[in-house]
Structures are given as structure tokens and as C-alpha cells.
Amino acid sequence: MSSERTALPGPAKYFFLRALRPFSLSVTLVTCGLGITLAGHDGMLDVSRAVLVMIAGMLLQSAVNLFNDYADVELWERSDGYYANNVLAMIRRNLLVAKIMAGLSVAIGLVLVFQAGWELLVIGALGLAGGYFYTGQPIAYKNRGGGVFAVFLFTGVLMVVGSYVAVTGEWSYPVVLYSIPVSMISSMLLLANELRDVQDDAVNNIGTFTVRAGAPLAELLYRTLAIGALLYAWGLGFSGGMNFPWIMFVPALALKEPFQILKASKMAHQRNILVKLPPVTGRYFVVFGICMMLAI
């Protein structure tokens, strides 16, 4: 029993604010914001719909964040005592809040579907399925190493495209092209979490991409996505896809800190520095997203 106890995550992971993962809400701010910006660029901005889109997106992202920890229930149920019971109570409380948030998000989504059309219903259904099956059975793709790739689609491409469709009621293939770089950074943000938690995940047999592929390959993918997103945005901008493409040089300056954290984590006495990687990546995501919206 003692070995199981040492493998368990610390209880602070399940405190409401930490479980909410506020830095990851940058995903919603950027992806929904980009979809709304593109709608305005195309002269089809509906402000009331845009507000509803942002509220629904924030609620859904928060719900997914809170729901993800429910996969740890099995770990804690193998333990016993007052300590384990308290943690289980926190997880279940967070799950209840997640269900309420998801329900509100779905309700807003249905209002938007009524206004925008059936295409949004399909996009929303795919997004809900993607959020649930991140840790939900029978797929639980987080434990199969598929999280990085699924996040690219579900919290990247679908969020941008869905926001655009919700605001305009129209489908636009070029919007998919604009969604690619922010989708790459969505995957970066998940990798940041996986790199931070890789030791705990490995002990608890949680088969994330980083656990399966190894931290060095995950770090290489993190750097590749970071640089690739910039190169893609520059190519898009200077080929005529942005009015002010030079603004996209600014995010390159914001990459210094996350790359320094990865370098420092190689030193034995600095391994805990990876705890800083997710919030720093979240800030980079915000900088990149704001610059892209301004550039368009």
C-alpha cells in the first residue's frame, strides 16, 4: 500500500482553481477570438453571437479541465483513509461543477445552432465527444498517447471554425488554414502539461504521448510546434493572408522563456522548473493569438 501512496498525485492538483487550469483558458480566448476576428474581417460580425460564443467556449474549456481529473478516481479508490476520501470528494465536487458548466455551454450552443444552422451542431457534437473521450471510456485517448493530436483538432481547428460558423452562419475553408498555427500551439500547451507530469504519469501507468515517446522526443515536438507555428504564420501573412504580417515577429520574442525552462530542466537540481512550463506556454499562446488577430 505504501508504494501506491507514493505514486499518487499531490492533493493540490485537485484544488478547484488548480484543477480549473486557468492558464489553459488562453486556448478559448485565442481560438474563439480568432474565429470572431475572421468573421469581422469578412464583414459578418454579429456582436451578440460573438459574446455567446466566448461565454460558451470558456464554460466548455473549464468543464473539460475539471472533468479530466476524474480519471484519477481509480487511483484514489485503491487507497483508503480520511486523506484519500477527501481527495475523492474534491474530484467528485469538481466533476459536478464540470457537468453544470458543460450543461450551460450546451444550452448556449443550442441557441447558437438555432441561429447559425446545423453545421454548428455537427461541430459542437464533435467537440463534446472530443472533450469527453480525452479521459472517458472506452476511448480515453489521453492514455493511448493521442492527446497531442486530438487537441490539435478539437481545441484548435474545431474551436476556430466553430466560432466562425456560430457568428456568421457560414462555412469557410480559408478559416481552416488560419486555424492551423493556433492549433499547433494548443498541442504545445498539452505537451507542457505532459512534460511537467511525466514522472507521475509514468508511475501511475497513464500512457500520455510524453510517457510513451519519452521526454526528449516530446521536448523536440514542443520546439518543432513552436517554431512551425511561427513559420506557418509568417508564410500565411507574407503571402497576402494578413494586413499587418510584420506583427507576427513579436511572438518569436516570447519563446525565449519556455525554451530556457526546457534547457534548465536538463540539470538535476532544476527538474522541478518544468512546473513553470504550462503557464509560460499559456502566456505565449495569448501573445501569439493577440498578434495574429491584430495582424489580420
Tell me what pLDDT residue 269 has: 62
**Which DSSP letter does residue 238 get?**
I
Residue-wise pLDDT for 95-136, tens only, equals 899 889 989 988 998 999 998 888 888 887 887 777 667 666
Mean pLDDT of 275-279: 90
Q: 79 in helix, strand or coil?
A: coil
HSE (side-chain half, CA atoms, 13 Å) at 240: 1
Tell me what pLDDT residue 5 has: 44
Q: Which residue blocks in 69-157 are alpha helix, DSSP H?
A: 73-77, 81-116, 118-132, 147-152
CA distance 70 to 224: 31
At what angle are helices 81-116 and 158-168 packed, to 10 degrees? 40
**pLDDT tier, 21 (very low <50, low <70, confident <90, very high otherwise):** confident
Closest of 254, 292, 229, 276 to residue 30, by C-alpha? 292
**pLDDT tier, 139 (very low <50, low <70, confident <90, very high otherwise):** low
Tell me what pLDDT residue 6 has: 44
C-alpha cell at 137: 471510456
Is the separation of the CB atoms in 187 and 152 below 8 Å? yes
Mean pLDDT of 76-105: 82
Other Cβ atoms closer than 10 A to 74: 9
Residue-wise pLDDT for 235-269, tens only, equals 999 999 999 999 999 999 999 999 999 988 887 66
Question: Which pTM does this prediction carry?
Answer: 0.81
User: 250: Cβ–Cβ under 8 A, 6 or more apart, which residues?
Assistant: 287, 291
Tell me what pLDDT residue 271 has: 67
Any idea which residue has 458548466 for its cell?
A: 101
Mean pLDDT of 64-82: 72
3-state SS of the chain: helix, strand, coil percent to 5? 85, 0, 15
Any idea which residue has 499562446 for its cell?
A: 285
CA distance 188 to 186: 5
Q: Work out the percent of the chain whose per-residue pLDDT is above 70.
A: 89
**pLDDT tier, 24 (very low <50, low <70, confident <90, very high otherwise):** confident
Mean pLDDT of 19-34: 84
Residue 100 backbone phi and psi in degrees, to 5: -65, -45
Average pLDDT, the chain: 85
Is the separation of the CB atoms in 273 and 261 below 8 Å? yes
Is the separation of the CB atoms in 71 and 140 below 8 Å? yes
Residue-wise pLDDT for 202-230, tens only, equals 887 778 889 998 989 999 999 999 999 99
HSE (side-chain half, CA atoms, 13 Å) at 198: 23
Is the separation of the CB atoms in 60 and 108 below 8 Å? no
Least confident of 127-136, 194-203, 269-278: 127-136
**pLDDT tier, 178 (very low <50, low <70, confident <90, very high otherwise):** very high
